């Protein structure tokens, strides 16, 4: 059985949330239902303002970490900003 849940929310935020849900290809009600199910299952609530990395950025960071471990594609350390600038101008 389904029931109706009424909540009060700022209309501008509601419109932004609906737009975001639409961009993800689903109605806002589906997303809210999923969040409520997660709340019930985990008995935890998470709030964050930290942005998440996109999959593309995660891949680039992974490549950079691997290069650093293998001492590839790295430069420096530089003793001065001028030394760094000179290096960057030369490449």
Q: What angle do CA 63, 87, 69 make, to 5 degrees?
A: 25
According to the model, what pLDDT value does residue 68 have? 92
Please give the model's pTM, rounded to 2 decimal places: 0.50
71 domain residue, yes or no = yes
- Residue linked to tokens 């960071």: 61
According to the model, what pLDDT value does residue 46 have? 84
Element spanning 61, H or E: helix 55-69
43: left (phi over 0), alpha (psi -120 to 50) or beta: left
Assess whether pLDDT exceeds 90 at residue 91: no
According to the model, what pLDDT value does residue 48 have? 81
67 domain residue, yes or no = yes
Residue range of the domain that includes 18? 11-42
Question: Could you give the residue ranges of the DSSP H alpha helices within 1-54?
Answer: 11-23, 28-42
- For the stretch 7-64, pLDDT in tens is 999 999 999 999 999 999 999 999 999 999 999 999 999 888 778 888 999 999 999 9
- Residue linked to tokens 């609530």: 45
Tokens of 87: 């290096």
19 domain residue, yes or no = yes
6 domain residue, yes or no = no
What distance in Å separates the CA atoms of residue 89 and residue 91, rounded to the nearest whole number? 6
2 domain residue, yes or no = no
């Amino acid at each position: 059985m389904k029931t109706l849940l009424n909540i009060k929310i700022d209309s501008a935020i509601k419109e932004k949330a609906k737009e975001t849900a639409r961009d993800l290809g689903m109605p806002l009600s589906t997303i809210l239902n999923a969040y409520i199910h997660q709340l019930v299952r985990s008995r935890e609530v998470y709030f964050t303002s930290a942005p998440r990395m996109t999959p593309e950025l995660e891949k680039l960071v992974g490549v950079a970490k691997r290069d650093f471990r293998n001492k590839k594609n790295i430069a420096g350390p530089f003793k001065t900003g001028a030394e760094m600038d000179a290096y960057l101008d030369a490449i």
